[in-house]
Structure 1
Amino acid sequence: MSELVRIAPGALTIGRPLPWDVYDADGNVLLCQGFVIQTDSQLDQLFERGLFKPRVIEVPQEDDEASGDEAECNPFARYPDYLQALEKALAAIAAGEPDARKHLQDLAHALEQACIKAPDSSLALIHLYSVGPTIHEQIIFYAILCQLIARQFGLDEQRIPILTEAALSANLALVPVADKLNAFNKVLSTEQRSVIRKHPQRSIRALKAVGIDNDLLFTIIAQHHEQGDGSGYPDGLSGADIRPEAEILALAERYVAMITKRAYRKRMNVTAARKLIANLADGNFRPALPKALLQILGEYPPGTLVRLENNEVCVITGRPVRARGPFVQVVFDSSGNSCDTRQERDTSVPEFNIQALEEPDIMPSMSFSRIWGFPD
């Protein structure tokens, strides 16, 4: 299959799910999306034999959007598309291509449709892949969270697409060095800190260079590292001088940083992250924004693992609906055996009450599309 390409070193990591299906040279599926690499030898074999199929994002037509529902919008299947489309969009901006913004808008639109039609699955992407995401994955996570927070907060619908574009492009200037910085376990040098502090302005200059002219977009990017108490950068703005869109992006980045592993610190579990978010309303953010994020996440966000009273280990698939849930699918039965069939549990039933979060060092392999009930 000529469209298959070799997996680049560093694209896969032990302990986190495969972001796409892996094929052999004849086009046969070796491993499905959601399989978790357990050992160095497995990783070496994949780099030696494995291929994957890059795909180009297809923007839904208006007629498709009107009739679409969650079953027709599978964020897990489209995850490789999102990553490929983001790389293409950012590369187009960096290269000064005149159609660069269209790539950015197409991806923002695709993510918007996913978040509207399949919000639980979109949110699950973030938690399933949060062990050690690349900078491109983190950026996709920012955009998803911005979509969800903005609607919960009540942001004008006309401004959400611009916010999503900002989430996708604000860290453009950091992309070449971000993964190295995340893997750096020493105190950052003056030069490294300077690169970080200047990235909003550099990203804006790159966007202007391809003919993009949108004041709201530039303002969101310029302000997304300002702090409500005036301690942020680059201008030390405070309070109402900071646009809510910029605070939404800052909050999205903050949450992803909390639950993401870095070389210099462990990742937080969602319980600890929720506690920190609850405290962010004290001077750093408009109080309604952390509240909106907490409402979106719930106590157990989709994509997190929990142990039930009957000793089953499950993955959260849906947030509570009225007096029921959150809903889960069984990953391991009460004897610790992997579950190969869909078995949903309503955790409001006493037998299936959530006992505790599960925080394995290595994520279990799961078929995400099957677990979330998407058609093959």
Structure 2
Amino acid sequence: MSNLVRIAPGALTIGRPLPWDVFDADGNRLLCQGYVIQTDTQLEQLFERGRFKPRVIDVPQEDSEASGGEARCNPFTRYPDYLHALEAALAAIAKGQPDARKRLQDLAHALEQACSSSPDSSLALVHLYSVGPTIHEQIIFYGILCQLIARKFGLEEPRISILTQAALSANLALVSVADKLNALNKVLNSEQRRVIRKHPQRSIHALKATGIDNELMFTIIAQHHEQADGKGYPDGLSGADIRPEAEILALAERYVAMITKRAYRKRMNVTAARKLIANLADGSFRPAIPKALLQVLGEYPPGTLVRLENNEVGVITGRPVRARGPFARVVFDPSGNNYENPGERDTSEPGFGIRALEEPDIMPSMNFSRIWGFPE
């Protein structure tokens, strides 16, 4: 298959689910998306033999939305498309290419459709791949979270679209250095801090150079590190001077940072992250915005692993609905053996209640499309 390309060193890591299917040079599938590499030997073999299939993102037409349904918008199979489309869009912006705006809008529209038709699956992406995401993965997470928070907050659809485009482009100026900064285990120096503080304006400058002219988008990007208590940057704005869209983006970035591993600290579990978010309603943000994120997440967000009262381990697939749930698909039986066909558990039923979060050092391999009920 001539459209397969080699996997670049660093694209895969031990303990994280594969972001796409892996093939050999003849096009035979070696591993499915969701498989977790366990050893250095496996990793080396994949870099030697593995290939993946980069694709241009396919944006459904407007008139197909009503009939599209969840089966037509599987966020798991589209995940590599989102990443490929984001890299292409940011590269087009950086080079000042005239198609940059359309690339950005198409990706924002694709995320909008995923979050509208498959909100639980879209939210699961954020948690399943949060162990050590690249900067491009983090940006996709920002876009997903902004979509979900903004709707819960009650933002109008046109503003949500602009917010999503801002989320996808606000960190353009950091892309080349973000992964290196996240890997540092020491205090940032003055030059590194300067780069971080300047990135909103540099990103805006690059967007303007492509012919993009949207003042709301520029304002969101410029203000997304301001804080309601006046302690943010670059202008120390406070209160109503900060757009709610900017606060939504800031909160999305902060939540991803909480649940993401860094060289200098461990990642938080969702319980600890929820407590911090609840505290943010006391001054750093408009109270309604952290509350909206807490409502989006629920106590156990989709994509998190939990141990049930019967000692099974499952992955949360759906948030509560009408006093039922949250819902889980069991991955391990009470003895710790893999289930061949994961069954669904309603954790509101006796015997299937959630005992605790599971935080394994290495995620278990899962077939995400099958677990979330998408056609394979």
- The bucket for the TM-score relative to the shorter chain is over 0.9
Q: Could you tell me which residue of structure 1 aligns to residue 24 of structure 2? A: 24
Aligned pairs for 1:270-281 (under 5 A) are: 270-281=270-281
Partners in 2 of 1:62 and 1:130 — Cα distance?
Answer: 31
Deviation, 1:73, is: 1.1
Q: Could you tell me which residue of structure 1 aligns to residue 38 of structure 2? A: 38
Q: Could you tell me which residue of structure 2 aligns to residue 192 of structure 1? A: 192
User: Partner amino acid for 1:358?
Assistant: E
Q: Percent same amino acid among aligned pairs?
A: 85
Counterpart check, 1:247 vs 2:252: no
Moved beyond 2 Å, runs of 4+: none
Deviation, 1:71, is: 2.1
Q: How big is each residue's C-alpha offset from its partner over 1:188-220, in whole Å with a ceiling of 9 and x where there is no partner?
A: 111100000000000000000000000000000
For normalisation by structure 2, the TM-score amounts to 0.99
Aligned pairs for 1:117-132 (under 5 A) are: 117-132=117-132
Aligned pairs for 1:287-366 (under 5 A) are: 287-366=287-366
User: Partner amino acid for 2:235?
Assistant: D
Q: How big is each residue's C-alpha offset from its partner over 1:238-279, in whole Å with a ceiling of 9 and x where there is no partner?
A: 000000000000000000000000000000000000000000
User: Partner amino acid for 1:245?
Assistant: E
Q: How big is each residue's C-alpha offset from its partner over 1:10-32, in whole Å with a ceiling of 9 and x where there is no partner?
A: 10011110000000011001110
Partners in 2 of 1:84 and 1:206 — Cα distance?
Answer: 20
Between 340-349 and 212-221, report the one with greater CA deviation.
Answer: 340-349
When the two chains are superposed, the root-mean-square deviation of aligned CA atoms in Å is 0.6
Deviation, 1:334, is: 1.1
Deviation, 1:304, is: 0.1
Deviation, 1:63, is: 2.1
For normalisation by structure 1, the TM-score amounts to 0.99
Q: How big is each residue's C-alpha offset from its partner over 1:18-63, in whole Å with a ceiling of 9 and x where there is no partner?
A: 0000000110011100000111111111111100000100111122
Q: Could you tell me which residue of structure 2 aligns to residue 83 of structure 1? A: 83
User: Partner amino acid for 2:173?
Assistant: A
Q: Could you tell me which residue of structure 2 aligns to residue 63 of structure 1? A: 63
Partners in 1 of 2:229 and 2:66 — Cα distance?
Answer: 43
Partners in 1 of 2:232 and 2:43 — Cα distance?
Answer: 41
Partners in 2 of 1:307 and 1:235 — Cα distance?
Answer: 46
Aligned pairs for 1:217-228 (under 5 A) are: 217-228=217-228
Counterpart check, 1:49 vs 2:16: no
Partners in 2 of 1:116 and 1:181 — Cα distance?
Answer: 33
Counterpart check, 1:169 vs 2:169: yes
User: Partner amino acid for 1:334?
Assistant: P
- State the aligned residue count: 376
User: Partner amino acid for 1:115?
Assistant: C
Between 272-281 and 338-347, report the one with greater CA deviation.
Answer: 338-347
User: Structure 2, unaligned stretches of length 5 or more?
Assistant: none
Partners in 1 of 2:94 and 2:100 — Cα distance?
Answer: 9
Aligned pairs for 1:88-99 (under 5 A) are: 88-99=88-99
Partners in 2 of 1:31 and 1:156 — Cα distance?
Answer: 41
Between 227-236 and 120-129, report the one with greater CA deviation.
Answer: 227-236
Partners in 1 of 2:187 and 2:342 — Cα distance?
Answer: 47
User: Structure 1, unaligned stretches of length 5 or more?
Assistant: none
Between 336-345 and 27-36, report the one with greater CA deviation.
Answer: 336-345
